[in-house]
């Protein structure tokens, strides 16, 4: 067995020494260099000291490799590599022991990484990779707390160095195209991508298409976008998530055809534009949330479901699950936040050109929302509820202009800033390249081959 190196003091008073010096790394990495030496104590030892007395020194005696049993340890390039993941209700200690890793190795990992990460905070789904030499000595241990964030313990001579590393993502272009059979989100997922890509796609056309209401079976979409990869310890690219959409096309039976291309006027400052260079953005979004259905439309005469009287309904009732996020439909300033009779919890936002938007029956507001606060388009302001006079969870959305109610469904407002004449040539080059990519490939209904 490997044992910690022992040294007796000349005056028979024994003690233990632990030295940890912090060294700042470069970029996204932060390192701690830890040197361990153990001494025989004359007093009862603490839990840390008990653990340290069993730690293997980097130059200690070799030990036999444990029997892993479950086949999750393999020989790679002259080293033994063990991989695993934390399961629900499991600790790192339990996961490593299940794979045959001895307690001295586990103790070393726990102690050396303690200044960086407390394994009591390990979460199900966290993964790790442990590397040992032929004698069983620890060479390296990496622990991932997310797809991008990890802690790496490595051996450097007589020391162990711990670094926190944030993976660098490499974008690679990709293209998917499909036909909607149920809804946009399911169609994108059936093509092997995440719902995040569908949400980003819907955001691009949010000023023109109501994806909660106007999507029909047979609608066609195409997306050119970036897939973001990290490189694992073996040098293999690992797909993490979708990145920026570079070009998008949607053709709907009720919404018509829409095309958008991403273009940066200056580095880091970009937006989406139609092929003619006009911005896809407008002053108002078509809806303040992702809703399930419209339970009541804008009307001059509606029978109130609770009061049982006929009167105008100057808004649109969007039914959605309680707690669904609600956002501002345009830039503006909060002018009311509180209870307002039958409206329940109500937020009012003043916008340019004399417009005011109303969001009623909210379950609650976001904690940071305050009267006088400036909000941006699609900034979260509250959540769907059933406060005030309401028969179910929904938001009553209204808009006035100069004090008079207008139908939100017919309101678009002025468009955003178009590409300037000076940038047109540069924009056309990007546009033509992206449109060529957007039109390539066949349209499919559900296949991972589109990736």
Coil, helix or strand at residue 415: strand
Please state whether beta strands 127-132 and 269-273 pair in parallel, antiparallel, or not at all (unpaired).
unpaired
Residue 123's pLDDT is 92
Residue 303's pLDDT is 56
Q: Which residue, 125, 147, 166, sits at the end of a domain? A: 166
Who contacts 114 (Cβ-Cβ below 8 Å, separation ≥6)? none
For residue 417, tell me if it sits in a domain.
no
Ranges 262-266, 267-271, 317-321, 325-329: which has the least confidence = 267-271
Residue 254's pLDDT is 84
Q: Once rounded to an integer, what is the mean pLDDT over residues 216-233?
A: 91
Q: Which residue has the tokens 């726990």?
A: 110
Residue 24 DSSP one-character state: -
Residue 33's pLDDT is 53
Same domain, 154 and 22: yes
For residue 430, tell me if it sits in a domain.
no
Each residue's pLDDT tens digit, 81-134: 999 999 999 999 999 999 989 999 999 999 999 999 999 999 999 999 999 988
Instruction: State percent of the chain over pLDDT 70.
Output: 76
CATH of the domain at 225: 3.10.450.350
For residue 237, tell me if it sits in a domain.
yes
End-to-end Cα, the chain, rounded Å: 51
Average pLDDT value for the chain: 79
For residue 1, tell me if it sits in a domain.
no
Question: Which residue from 255, 348, 357, 354 is spatially nearest to 315, judged by alpha carbons?
Answer: 357
Each residue's pLDDT tens digit, 380-426: 999 999 998 888 899 999 999 999 999 887 776 677 788 989 999 99
65 has pLDDT over 50 = no
Q: Once rounded to an integer, what is the mean pLDDT over residues 7-17?
A: 33
For residue 323, tell me if it sits in a domain.
yes
54 has pLDDT over 90 = no
CATH of the domain at 339: 2.70.70.10
Residue 269's pLDDT is 77
354 has pLDDT over 80 = yes
Residue 448's pLDDT is 32
Same domain, 307 and 406: yes
Strand partners, 19: 35
323 has pLDDT over 50 = yes
CA–CA distance, 309 with 307 (Å, rounded to integer): 6
E-strand ranges in 133-283 read 138-144, 149-156, 159-166, 170-179, 220-231, 237-252, 256-266, 269-273
Residue 310's pLDDT is 64
Same domain, 11 and 151: yes
Same domain, 69 and 101: yes
Same domain, 344 and 445: no
136 has pLDDT over 80 = yes
For residue 329, tell me if it sits in a domain.
yes
Do 39 and 6 form a contact (C-beta atoms < 8 A)? yes
Question: Which residue from 341, 335, 414, 344 is spatially nearest to 375, judged by alpha carbons?
Answer: 335
CA–CA distance, 304 with 123 (Å, rounded to integer): 49
Same domain, 133 and 238: no
For residue 160, tell me if it sits in a domain.
yes
Residue 23's pLDDT is 33
Same domain, 136 and 194: no
Please state whether beta strands 404-406 and 149-156 pair in parallel, antiparallel, or not at all (unpaired).
unpaired
Q: Once rounded to an integer, what is the mean pLDDT over residues 57-66?
A: 37
Same domain, 81 and 29: yes
44 has pLDDT over 60 = no
CA–CA distance, 41 with 45 (Å, rounded to integer): 7
Question: Which residue from 141, 145, 189, 139 is spatially nearest to 167, judged by alpha carbons?
Answer: 145
For residue 419, tell me if it sits in a domain.
no
Give the residue with greater pLDDT, 451 vs 308. Answer: 308
Same domain, 135 and 19: yes
Q: Which residue, 131, 166, 201, sits at the end of a domain? A: 166
Largest separation between any pair of C-alpha atoms in the chain: 98
Ranges 39-53, 258-272, 422-436: which has the least confidence = 39-53
Residue 332's pLDDT is 94
Same domain, 13 and 141: yes
Other CB atoms within a 10 A radius of the CB of residue 192 amount to 13
CA–CA distance, 106 with 13 (Å, rounded to integer): 29
Q: Once rounded to an integer, what is the mean pLDDT over residues 348-376?
A: 94
CA–CA distance, 290 with 214 (Å, rounded to integer): 12
249 has pLDDT over 70 = yes
Residue 32's pLDDT is 53
Each residue's pLDDT tens digit, 70-90: 436 666 667 889 999 999 999
Coil, helix or strand at residue 261: strand
> Tokens at residue 437, please?
């990519």
Q: Once rounded to an integer, what is the mean pLDDT over residues 239-258?
A: 92
Same domain, 18 and 138: yes
Residue 283's pLDDT is 82
Q: Which residue, 166, 194, 227, sits at the end of a domain? A: 166
Same domain, 151 and 35: yes
Q: Once rounded to an integer, what is the mean pLDDT over residues 345-356?
A: 94
- 148-152, 206-210, 291-295, 312-316: range with highest mean pLDDT: 148-152
Each residue's pLDDT tens digit, 145-194: 998 899 999 988 888 999 999 999 999 999 999 999 888 888 999 999 98
Residue 77's pLDDT is 61
- The count of domains in the chain is 3
263 has pLDDT over 50 = yes
Question: What is the band of 10 on the pLDDT scale with cuts at 50, 70, 90?
Answer: very low
- Parent domain of 55: 6-166
Residue 122's pLDDT is 92
């Amino acid at each position: 067995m490997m044992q910690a190196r022992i040294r007796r003091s000349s005056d028979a008073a024994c003690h233990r020494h632990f030295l940890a010096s912090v060294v700042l790394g470069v970029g996204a990495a932060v390192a701690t260099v830890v040197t361990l030496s153990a001494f025989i104590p004359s007093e009862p030892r603490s839990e840390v000291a008990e653990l340290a007395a069993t730690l293997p020194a980097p130059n200690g005696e070799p030990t036999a490799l444990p029997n892993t049993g479950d086949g999750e340890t393999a020989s790679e390039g002259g080293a033994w590599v063990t991989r695993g993941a934390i399961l629900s209700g499991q600790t790192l200690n339990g996961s490593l022991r299940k794979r045959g890793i001895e307690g001295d190795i586990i103790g070393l990992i726990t102690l050396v990484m303690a200044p960086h990460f407390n394994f009591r905070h390990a979460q199900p789904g966290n993964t790790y990779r442990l590397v040992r030499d032929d004698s069983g000595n620890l060479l390296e241990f990496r622990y991932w707390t997310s797809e991008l964030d990890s802690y790496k313990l490595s051996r450097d001579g007589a020391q162990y160095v711990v670094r926190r590393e944030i993976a660098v993502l490499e974008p690679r272009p990709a293209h998917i195209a499909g036909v909607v059979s149920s809804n946009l989100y399911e169609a994108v997922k059936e093509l092997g991508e995440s719902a995040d890509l569908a949400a980003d796609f819907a955001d691009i056309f949010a000023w023109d298409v109501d994806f909660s209401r106007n999507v029909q079976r047979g609608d066609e979409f195409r997306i050119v976008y970036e897939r973001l990869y990290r490189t694992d310890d073996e040098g293999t690219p690992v797909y993490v998530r979708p990145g920026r959409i570079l070009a998008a096309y949607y053709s709907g039976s009720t919404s018509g055809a829409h095309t958008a291309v991403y273009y940066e006027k200056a580095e880091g400052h970009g937006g989406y534009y139609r092929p003619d260079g006009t911005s896809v953005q407008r002053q108002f979004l078509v809806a303040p949330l992702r809703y399930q259905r419209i339970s009541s439309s804008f009307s001059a005469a509606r029978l109130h479901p609770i009061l049982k009287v006929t009167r105008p309904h100057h808004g649109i009732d969007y039914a959605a699950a309680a707690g669904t996020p609600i956002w501002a439909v345009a830039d503006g300033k909060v002018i009311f936040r509180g209870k307002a009779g039958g409206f329940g919890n109500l937020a009012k936002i003043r916008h340019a050109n004399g417009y005011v938007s109303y969001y009623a029956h909210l379950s609650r507001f976001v904690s940071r929302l305050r009267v006088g606060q400036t909000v941006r388009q699609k900034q979260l302001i509250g959540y769907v509820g059933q406060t005030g006079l309401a028969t179910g969870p929904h938001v009553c959305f209204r808009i006035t202009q100069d004090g008079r109610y207008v139908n939100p469904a017919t309101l678009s407002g002025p468009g955003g800033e178009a590409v300037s004449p000076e940038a047109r040539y540069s924009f056309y080059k990007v546009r033509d390249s992206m449109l060529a990519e957007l039109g390539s490939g066949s349209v499919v209904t559900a296949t991972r081959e589109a990736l």
